[in-house]
Amino acid sequence: MEVYEAIKLRRSVRSYEQKTIPSEILSRVLEAGRAAPSASNNQPWHFIVVRDQEKRKILSNRMFTRFLAESPVVIVGCGEKNRRYHVVDVSIAMQQMVIAATSEGLGTCWIGDFNEETVRTMLKIPEKYNIICLLAMGYPKEKTDLAATLLRIRGRKKLENIVSFDEYGKHEKLLS
């Protein structure tokens, strides 16, 4: 899949088929994360692939994470807290995984709704890491994402309103 197509196609998926992600596909997605740039090439990341049903159930016990009980995989992105740009680095790597997963026909959803200590204890994550974000991943269920549609949370600001040229507030007509 062409990269712009994957970027356009991607949406947050909150409903998944009960279908395992083949290991070669999961490996390619994780490789896409590994290939990401990082400040000084520090690669201050560690990714925990959570497949265990009980553990996903615990992760799903939050207001905005109910669907984690049915996504076959949840990737937990951790960053070495002594590296200045660890949050940026881990986020870039995870978004590369998101785009790669989309091109593999997988759905994803970033998850910021988690309790750091619960996740740390459950997954035995060493103190040297911050837990940056979670990523749900799996085959989307063929139905519209009602929650997203109803909440109208997919709209985007106009390009003209978020881009300036040469100084803040100096706008140009942009073609898209």
Ligand X SMILES: Cc1cc2nc3c(=O)[nH]c(=O)nc-3n(C[C@H](O)[C@H](O)[C@H](O)COP(=O)(O)O)c2cc1C
> What six digits make up the tokens of 67?
């669907």
Which one among 3, 7, 35, 153 touches ligand X, defined by CB under 6 A? 153
42 contributes a contact to ligand X by CB under 6 A = no
Contact flag: residue 165 with ligand X (CB under 6 A): no
Choosing from 58, 119, 133, 135, the residue that interacts with ligand X (CB under 6 A) is: 133
Q: Which is nearer to ligand X, 57 or 171 (CB)?
A: 57
The number of angstroms, rounded, from the C-alpha of 119 to the middle of its chain's C-alpha atoms is: 16
Determine if 148 is a binding residue for ligand X (CB under 6 A): yes
The residue from 4, 41, 54, 112 that contacts ligand X (CB under 6 A) is 112
Distance CA 151, CA 106 (A): 23
- Residue for token pair 């088929």: 17
State which residue, 25 or 87, has the beta carbon closest to ligand X. 87
Q: Is 86 in the site for ligand X (CB under 6 A)?
A: no
Listed ranges 9-17, 22-30, 33-41, 98-106: which one lies at the site for ligand X (CB under 6 A): 9-17
Q: List interacting residues with ligand X (CB under 6 A).
A: 11-12, 14, 64-65, 109-113, 133, 148, 153-154
